[in-house]
Amino acid sequence: MALPGKILAQPSESLPPVIVTPDRPVTGRSHPTSSTSRKPKKRTATQTTQQPAQGLVGGQAPGNSGPAPPSASATSASSFTATGQEVNARVFSRPAEALEIVPGLIVTQHSGDGKANQYFLRGFNLDHGTDFAIYVDDMPVNMRTHAHGQGYADLNFLIPELIDSILVKKGPYFADEGDFSSVGVARINLLDSLRGAGPASLAKVTAGSFGYWRGLGITSQPVGDGNLLIAGEVNTYNGPWSNPDDLRKLNAVIRYSQGTVENGFSLTGMAYANKWNSTDQIPLRAITSGQIGLYGALDPTDGGNSDRFSISGKWAQTGDTGASKVSFYAIKSSLNLWNNFTYFLTDPINGDQFHQHDDRVLGGVNASQTFNGTFAGLPMETEIGLQSRYDNIKLDLTNTVARQFLSYTRKDRVQEGSVGVYIQNTLHWTDWLRTYVGYRGDYYNANVDSIFDAANSGKARAGIGTPKAGIVFGPFAKTEFYINAGQGFHSNDARGVTITQTPTTDGSEGSPLAPSPFLVRTQGAEVGIRTKAVPGLESTLSFFILDSASEILFSGDAGDTEASRPSRRVGFELTNSYKPVSWLSLDGDLAMTRARFKGYDSEQAALYESLAGYPQAQIGNAPGNFIPGAPNIVASAGIRFGEKTGWFSSLRYRYFGPRPLTEDGAFMSPATGLLNGQIGYTFDNGWSVKLEGLNLTDSKSDQITYAYGSFLKTDSLFTACQSASPPPAAVCANGVMDRVLHPVEPLAVRLTVAGNF
């Protein structure tokens, strides 16, 4: 986390300085630095966190790929900043995979490429973003009270080449981070210009396997006292699926900036539109029986479309006594999703496809003030801040067949607002000891209008306070030690907070349901070490624990609520990067977590008993303490060759370990290992050519895996349940338990030609 105020100078032999020169961009991870302890940075690509256009063209960065040396302002071992050039030096197939620069983070997809990705970190199956907060230029990406899922974080509007830096924090230890941030935060900052203060342009064209095509253009020009940047992207893709994705994506960005990061402002407009077909996850039995192939679809009409338009601004002023920052944003977004995850389980005639519609306008203002001072003669910084947000949301959940309307499940109009205030104080006791303490208070208010079901309408409000603290020892021999602890929270879907019964559309009375808590507390702690004691080797090691409270969750797919038990994750993360010579770098990350529910699941036990006499139905439905989808091991390793010009190449292996898919552990996912690579050449004039390979081993493993009950019309149990003498209702409602998967896309190659002018 970035600590405010002045930082005590450290001996050069303990803290090697990071030197930035215009012709040699920094590409390794650098830790958050104080906004008032460094010289003002011009808003150009030659500053520490912005790179010349050459790095974007060649896609190869000559710097380190791991954590930077100990920083006088780092507050935890797991916090760091990755540069945009480091991100773009990697091979990835989707924009959100840029976040896999975060050690231990898995970004994957179970449906079409226009849908938000699914995230895994620190033993959490984060679904589409719950408990992992993502921001782009201070704009929240996570959507609360969302049609598909709480915290839905769609990054498909991001153009990776525009990334300036990604600030990463893990754990609930930071007072300036609020909703969805308990497991981690990624703050993506955008470039202001391509290269220095002069005009520059970048053109890039990529063509590849399975109908992949992408065109990108970026230009930045001096305008008045500032700089104007304009970018546009077009992307199409079919994929290997028997039902092609037929993805069609458009992206545009316009940005004007003036002054410096510490004393200046920027205004940014963004526009995004996308449409696609989806090959959703499919049951294993449909593949092994030959009903469909590995890349087949059971419902070829699944898919979606989305759009997003935003305007945002940031302003900062810095002086000797402190720093002021203000940002604002206004976003208009919409999403339509058609999914069918259970096929014929609930509707044996029409099938189980449903439509989720989310249409919203949201806006917010953030402001902070840092005061530099002393306490008993000791240097001290105090930061106070305010963060506000308001969402006006239209939500529909309907039953459909081939994307055609059948009936409503529920229809809602929601207004949700929040305000958070925080204070954090950092005190430098000696040149080797500093501490911080912070406190955050958040207040939420929502109004839910359930159009067809007045019993589920209502108002909700809640507040929560969360303390934070940390101690940093060092540096000693280029090594620092960290202790962090704190509490965090996440909000729940406002519809679940006001719900009282199962949704109805005809005015009838539904079955009683328990409402969700509006705000759910988390608490965690971390100890860690960061060192550069061995020449050329940078390492971090952190041990963490994170507890989540018991809660009742709203299900966006069903429109009702379900219980969730308290849980605990305990684990460690190890990151290493080694750079023996300027043209070679290696890195490796390992994260291991033990994730378990607490207590006993009496509801699951009751379901298990209701399936007595049908042992196949009972498998996977016994009570247990495994957390479905929680990864226990994630690892990656990479090697890079190359300088700023000339030949470059890289290989990266990512390991996504096996996960329990049910509480009893009866179903387990296979491990997934992926190897990606690239080779290319960057010419002295800035032009480059690059060949990328995705899934070089042509793995047939699962990209993501679930286990639950469903019905195919070919299932013998489906036929029995439609007969005159069906099995018990609980057995038919459960369906056939099976592993349900979305496969890794097969070996693919992509050729890129790019140049700057």
Specify the amino acid at residue 652: R
Please name which of 496, 478, 483, 632 lies closest in space to residue 543, comparing C-alpha atoms.
483
Q: Which residue has the tokens 């939420």?
A: 444
Instruction: In whole angstroms, give the CA distance from residue 280 to residue 292.
Output: 13
In a domain, 421, yes or no: yes
pLDDT, residue 196, reads 66
Structural tokens at position 611:
């399936």
In a domain, 186, yes or no: yes
pLDDT, residue 559, reads 63
In a domain, 34, yes or no: no
In a domain, 633, yes or no: yes
Return the sign of the alpha-carbon dihedral for residues 28, 34, 35, 41. Answer: negative
Q: Provide the whole-model pTM.
A: 0.91
pLDDT, residue 581, reads 94
Those residues whose C-beta lies under 8 Å from the C-beta of residue 19, and which sit 6 or more positions away, are none
Q: How confident is the chain (757 residues) per 10-residue block, as mean pLDDT?
A: 33 29 31 37 37 42 37 79 94 95 94 92 92 97 96 97 96 97 97 82 97 97 95 98 97 95 95 96 96 96 98 96 97 98 96 98 98 95 98 98 96 98 98 97 98 94 98 94 97 95 86 92 97 95 94 66 86 96 96 95 92 92 94 97 95 97 96 98 94 98 95 96 95 96 97 94
pLDDT, residue 30, reads 36
Enter the DSSP assignment of 87.
Answer: H
In a domain, 45, yes or no: no
In 242-377, DSSP assigns E strands to 247-259, 264-277, 282-283, 303-319, 322-339, 354-375
For the domain that residue 236 is a member of, what is the CATH number? 2.40.170.20
In a domain, 35, yes or no: no
pLDDT, residue 429, reads 97
Instruction: In whole angstroms, give the CA distance from residue 473 to residue 551.
Output: 37
In a domain, 244, yes or no: yes
CA trace torsion 24, 30, 36, 39 (10° rounding): -10
In a domain, 644, yes or no: yes
Return the SS3 of 664: coil
Count of CA atoms in the C-beta half-sphere (13 A) of 363: 6
Instruction: In whole angstroms, give the CA distance from residue 226 to residue 239.
Output: 42
pLDDT, residue 197, reads 64
Q: Which residue has the tokens 């309907």?
A: 398
CA trace torsion 259, 263, 269, 274 (10° rounding): 110
The domain containing residue 60 runs over which residues?
A: 53-584+592-686+694-756
Domain count, the chain: 1
